[in-house]
Amino acid sequence: MMNCYLIVVLFSLGLVVGGSERCCLPQQYEGILGEMIAAMQPNGVGSDTLIYGIYSVDSKASKVYVDETVIVNGKPSGQFKVLQDFNSKSQYVYDKKKCAISPIKETMFRCIPANAVHQGSYYYGSMNKLHFNIWSFDVTVGGVKYNTQMSLAEDNCSLVSEVLHFDTPEAKGFATVGLLNTTLSIRDPSVFDIPPQCKHGGVAVEFDSNKALEDAGFTFASRHLLNRRNI
């Protein structure tokens, strides 16, 4: 039986009638990440993955950083730091000693695409309302097609939450993502520096979307697929 770990937060959810213009996420933002991924293989074997940590984005520098803890099927899988440098098209997945380096083939995500469909305007809360818009669109990463519903704050286009669905011959499932305590600045810009173990001891790893799915890799607003098998 597949173990499921689900954090439930109850809000009052209201509908706001009206449209919204497409927007671009802030140039810099940082927050507490929470994500759950559920996947099912054709043989009926399922897996669930819980990910939490700090998520930092600097689109001006074209870099993304994640400091995450991963739990797979109820068992700790490890603590990883991930640095994506879209300037050099390189991704670094590392711990205190080891580093796996793989190429990035996609461009950095920032703006809602032209083909996105506005699904509605809503708000959380009653008195101090958080107004947000939901956009739906498809995106392909590493040969894998995702359908995405992204919720963005109405006032500054910052990420509130996201749901991604995928269906491939290897696995199908979904990921739910939330970002809390978001700030429009980076507390420690040095997180975007390449660590020493990646400069000298990194192992080049071929990008493999199938393994990334199999390992319930990190999927997020910037369309990340991480391969931790070789770290």
Count of Cβ atoms closer than 10 Å to residue 18 Cβ:
9
Q: Is the pLDDT of residue 230 over 70?
A: no
Is 220's pLDDT higher than 60? no
Name the phi and psi angles at 197, rounded to 5. -65, -20
Amino acid at 105: K
How much of the chain, in percent, has pLDDT values that exceed 70? 76
pLDDT at 121 over 90: yes
Please compute the mean of the pLDDT values over residues 129-146 and round it to a whole number: 83
The string of pLDDT tens digits covering residues 31-73 is 999 988 888 888 988 888 888 899 999 999 999 999 988 888 8
Per-residue pLDDT, 150: 92
User: Which residue did the predictor score with more confidence, 139 or 87?
Assistant: 87
Predicted pLDDT of residue 161: 92
For the stretch 186-212, pLDDT in tens is 999 999 999 888 887 565 554 443 343
Question: Computed over its alpha carbons, how large is the radius of gyration of the chain?
Answer: 17
Give the number of C-alpha atoms closer than 13 A to the C-alpha of residue 180, restricted to the C-beta side.
7
pLDDT at 228: 35
Q: Dihedral, CA atoms, 209, 162, 147, 144, nearest 10 degrees?
A: 0
Check residue 12 and give its pLDDT: 38
Q: Beta partners for 195?
A: none
Kindly report the backbone phi and psi dihedral angles of residue 200, in degrees, each rounded to the nearest multiple of 5, phi listed first: -115, -30
> Do residues 167 and 150 touch, judged by C-beta distance below 8 A?
no
Q: What is the pLDDT of residue 212?
A: 37
Instruction: List the Cα angle 180/122/125 in 5-degree steps.
Output: 60
Please tell me the predicted confidence (pLDDT) of residue 222. 33
Q: Pseudo-torsion of CA 204, 208, 213, 214, nearest 10°?
A: -80
Single pTM value for the model: 0.78
Which residues in 111-142 are b (16+ Cβ under 10 Å) and which e? Answer: ebeeebeeebbbbbeeeeeebbbbbeeebebb
| CA dist., res. 62 & res. 230, Å (int) | 25
Most confident of 1-5, 112-116, 131-135: 131-135
Which is it for the CA torsion 62, 66, 72, 77, positive or negative?
positive
